[in-house]
Amino acid sequence: MQHYSGFGLVKHALSYHENWQRAWRNPTPKKKYDVIVVGGGGHGLATAYYLAKEHGITNVAVVEKGWLGGGNTARNTTIVRSNYLWDEAAWLYEHAMKLWEGLSQDLNYNVMYSQRGVMNLGHTLQDMRDIHRRVNANRLNGIDGEVLDVKQIQEIVPIMDCSKNTRYPIMGASWQPRGGVARHDAVAWGFARGADALGVDLLQQTEVTGIRKNGNKVLGVETTRGFIAADTVGVVTAGNSGVLAKMAGFQLPIESHPLQALVSEPMKPILDTVVMSNKVHGYVSQSDKGDLVIGAGIDGYNGYGQRGSYATIEHTLQAIVEMFPMFSRVRMNRQWGGIVDTCPDACPIISATPVGGLFFNCGWGTGGFKATPGSGNVFAATLAAGKAHPLAAPFSIDRFISGKLIDEHGAAGVAH
């Protein structure tokens, strides 16, 4: 793998940047792999990368029906934080956060991780009680967090309407300074390049059409490029997990919904943090190229069509304009929908399945992006050992039978 550096940039400038090495190969599938990862998004590519890097398993294929990072990785609002309420979730997301902090160095690829802080606003007394509780829980878990009053909020975000003249006046906020944003495409590309360099085969334009089993043991996957065998298969296909589970002959406690986001025209830097509000329900940050990245809730009904409804756009923009009246005349450039697999307790499933050798990593709902490196890391460990990584163990599918749910609706940021 060609090492990226400032010196390399200067050197390649002399040949007009025409001699850069390809970031990853485009191999033909082998007959058999040790591990197949289904889904070439951020989580799948991270899984393959950590399998090769931390567990020495390099005979790995990532099978992707479209192109790398073309699904939900390309369709989110790029926010990274770890301020979850319950221990199990907080540990998992904090694990991811720690990996984020060294990710660009680790991958030798600039994922543009920017720790600009994440603010969750409170608009009611109950919001403020929940915020105090969550910040205290975070600090007990060694996760940074503070409760801000209105004056402090106004200092950090001067353009926000913190007056009492709004329908739901802002009363305070939780604040996680280590949170921020990362460049979503770079995350996928960085993991892809890193995995490829370690010998992982990235098979694009290869759709899984079936899962072959012998009795209760997985044999491999049927694809549009023929059958590929493997002893271990890890499925990381957000938005289609239910479809894949059906191919393997079981059901998941998951419902798929469209979640949409939109970006405005680019403008000069005006907002240098991430602002989220659960109550009026919108969240906004400004990307490095200047556009406002705006998101809100999921459509209430199940859907696989990657688009959202007008009603949700209106609801979202009402919230944004309520918080930032000065954005009322900003034009929106693009809108898109991703399909999120939501679990009844707003927490993911990282689990073995009724089929031997088949593992699922799914159900991240509306908050999968922030977990990308951590999710891949614990799932790789799970696939390598054949049993759950300690951080992944509470997220077993069994919790929907035992009732030991991890109810994170309050910290999920999006109602679902």
Task: Please name the residues in contact with 47: beta carbons below 8 A apart, sequence gap of 6 or more.
Answer: 37, 234, 236, 361, 375, 376, 379, 380, 383
Residue recorded with tokens 């939900």: 72
| Residue in this structure with the two tokens 């209760």, named with its chain if needed | 216
Closest CA to 255 of 241, 268, 266: 241
Q: Which range of residues in 45-53, 65-73, 210-218, 299-307 is near another protein by CB under 8 A?
A: 299-307
Nearer to another protein, 67 or 250 (CB): 250
209 lies in the binding site for another protein (CB under 8 A): no
Least distance from C-beta 304 to another protein, angstroms? 5
Does 400 contact another protein by CB under 8 A?
yes
Enumerate residues 326-345 that contact another protein by CB under 8 A: 344
Q: Tell me the C-alpha distance between 255 and 244, whole Å.
A: 13
With beta carbons less than 8 A apart as the criterion, state whether 211 and 247 touch.
yes
| Residue number, 190 or 337, with CB nearest to another protein | 337
Residue from 140, 209, 304, 387 binding another protein (CB under 8 A):
304
C-beta of residue 82 within 8 angstroms of C-beta of residue 256: no
Print burial letters for 157-193: b (CB count within 10 Å at least 16), e (below 16): beebbbeeeeebebbbbbbbebbbbbbbbbbbbbbbb
Which of residues 72 and 256 has its CB atom nearest to another protein in the complex? 256
Which amino acid makes up residue 34?
D
Torsion angle of C-alpha atoms 282, 188, 92, 121, degrees rounded to 10: -20
314-317-323-324 Cα dihedral, nearest 10 degrees: -140
Residue closer to another protein (CB basis): 206 or 240: 240
Min separation Cβ 396 and another protein, Å: 12
Out of 104, 174, 240, 273, which residue is the one contacting another protein (CB under 8 A)? 240
Please list every residue from 172 through 191 that binds another protein, using CB under 8 A: none
Q: What are phi and psi of 279, to 5 degrees?
A: -75, -60
CB-CB contact of 236 with 38 (8 Å): yes
Question: Of 55-63, 82-90, 225-233, 306-314, which part binds another protein (CB under 8 A)?
Answer: 306-314
Backbone angles phi, psi at 123, to 5 degrees: -120, -5
Of the two residues 189 and 395, which places its CB atom closer to another protein in the complex?
395
Measured from the CB atom, is 150 or 313 closer to another protein? 313
Instruction: Please give the residues from 245 up to 274 whose contact with another protein meets the rule CB under 8 A.
Output: 251-256
Of these, 303, 337, 357, 367, which contacts another protein (CB under 8 A)? 303
3-state secondary structure of 158: coil
Residues numbered 339-378 forming contacts with another protein, rule: CB under 8 A? 344
Residue 96 or 397 having the CB closest to another protein: 397
Q: How far apart are CB 416 and another protein at their closest, in Å?
A: 12
Choices 264-272, 281-289, 305-313, 349-357; region in contact with another protein by CB under 8 A: 305-313
Stretch that binds another protein, among 20-28, 114-122, 176-184, 238-246 (CB under 8 A): 238-246
d(CA 136, CA 130): 10
Part of the chain binding another protein (CB under 8 A), chosen from 139-147, 260-268, 303-311, 317-325: 303-311
Which residue matches tokens 């993911």? 348
Rounded to a whole number of angstroms, the minimum distance from the CB of residue 41 to another protein is 18
Q: How far is the CB of 395 from another protein (least distance, A)?
A: 14
152 Rama sector, left if φ>0, alpha if ψ -120 to 50, beta otherwise: alpha
Which of 56, 269, 305, 390 is in the footprint of another protein by CB under 8 A?
A: 305
Residues that bind another protein (CB under 8 A): 240, 242-243, 251-256, 300-305, 309-311, 344, 400-403
